[in-house]
Amino acid sequence: MYFQSMNDLLYMDGHGAFVWTAYAITIIVIAVILIAPLRRQRGFLRQLAGELRRQQGAASSPGDN
């Protein structure tokens, strides 16, 4: 094993703060890249369902006959 202890792994000869910050930023960016389209799709589907309900409600209203 390259590191003798967990402290050595975290510290990395003084470079640990930079390395772990880079890992954290990378994970956050990847999470945003994966989650943002799913949220956008969910919002679009919710909006589309609302429009369909409004159209169906307008088509079945008795005042139009």
DSSP state at residue 14: G
Confidence at residue 65, expressed as pLDDT on a 0 to 100 scale: 55
Residue partners of 19: CB distance under 8 A and separation at least 6: 12
C-alpha distances in Å from residue 51, one per residue of 25, 36, 43: 39, 23, 12
Confidence at residue 42, expressed as pLDDT on a 0 to 100 scale: 97
Confidence at residue 13, expressed as pLDDT on a 0 to 100 scale: 87
Specify if 46 maps to a domain.
yes
Specify if 5 maps to a domain.
no
pTM for this model (two decimals):
0.66
Structural domain span for residue 51: 24-56
The list of the chain residues with pLDDT below 70 reads 1, 61-65
Confidence at residue 46, expressed as pLDDT on a 0 to 100 scale: 97
Residue partners of 10: CB distance under 8 A and separation at least 6: 16, 20
Count of domains for the chain: 1
Residues in the chain: 65
Specify if 16 maps to a domain.
no
Specify if 39 maps to a domain.
yes
